[in-house]
């Protein structure tokens, strides 16, 4: 791991400690460009870690400090996500798959952070999960199923990660979908269409059109 300090950080507010890990993509041309931006005092953004496409790992902010990566949003009824999370940026434009070296580094880093702070798999989330409609990273090409198989993220229900949900009998009720999504953590304000998009980004990124039974079944708790 390479230490590359960013000036863009501050103390966690109200004595908060990390309960979440938020994954992002950089949407920039290179890891070097992302590193420069995340350490630019004039931009006022940062993250705790950056993982390059080749698997190189940089740390920019100590985990006990508040990095500026999440912005406005909410998860599981909790706000000020910056004070409650560790932020990891992944060198990716959102238009291509996340490579094996990068994923292997992430898979080595996540258990260490989770162990240090007692963060459960359900606390590993995407930027789009806590800021639906405002953010879409780490995007539809990120392999959440791979993390879930290792206990490093929450798994999907029968309709997610390639499942059809065809064996699950559910009523297509948007109110029930919203309630189930909230139980899964999607508590940030969002209209029906934006919420559906956010859930699909996380559990069923190939989904299109109106709400389906597979969308209902994709949530971890759809009963």
Residues labelled as active-site residues: 89
Spatial contact of 222 and 216, defined as CB atoms under 8 Å apart: yes
Rg (C-alpha) for the chain, rounded Å, is: 17
Spatial contact of 67 and 46, defined as CB atoms under 8 Å apart: yes
Measured between alpha carbons, how far is 144 from 194 in angstroms, rounded to an integer? 20
Measured between alpha carbons, how far is 16 from 155 in angstroms, rounded to an integer? 27
Q: Is 124 exposed, middle or buried (0-12, 13-18, 19+ CB in 10 A)?
A: buried
**Two tokens, residue 20:** 């979440």
Residue indicated by tokens 């559910």? 170
Q: Residue 118 gets which letter from DSSP?
A: T
Spatial contact of 89 and 47, defined as CB atoms under 8 Å apart: yes
How many CA atoms does the CB half-sphere of 78 hold within 13 Å? Answer: 18
């Amino acid at each position: 791991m390479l230490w590359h300090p960013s000036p863009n950080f501050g103390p966690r507010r109200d004595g908060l400690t990390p309960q979440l890990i938020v994954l992002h993509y950089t949407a920039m041309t290179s890891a070097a460009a992302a590193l420069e931006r995340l350490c630019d005092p004039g931009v006022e953004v940062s993250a705790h870690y950056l993982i390059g496409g080749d698997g190189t790992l940089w740390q920019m902010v100590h985990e006990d400090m508040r990095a500026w990566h999440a912005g406005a949003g909410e998860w599981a009824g909790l706000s000020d996500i910056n004070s409650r999370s560790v932020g990891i940026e992944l060198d990716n434009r959102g238009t291509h798959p996340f490579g094996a070296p990068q994923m292997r580094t992430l898979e080595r880093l996540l258990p260490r952070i989770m162990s240090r702070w007692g963060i459960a798999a359900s606390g590993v989330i995407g930027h789009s999960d806590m800021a639906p409609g405002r953010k879409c990273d780490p995007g539809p090409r990120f392999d959440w199923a791979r993390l879930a198989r290792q206990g490093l993220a929450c798994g999907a229900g029968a309709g997610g990660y390639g499942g059809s949900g065809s064996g699950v009998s559910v009523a297509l009720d948007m109110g029930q979908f919203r309630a189930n999504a909230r139980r899964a953590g999607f508590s940030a304000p969002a209209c029906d269409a934006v919420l559906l998009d956010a859930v699909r980004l996380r559990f069923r990124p190939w989904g299109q059109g109106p709400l389906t039974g597979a969308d209902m079944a994709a949530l971890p708790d759809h009963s």
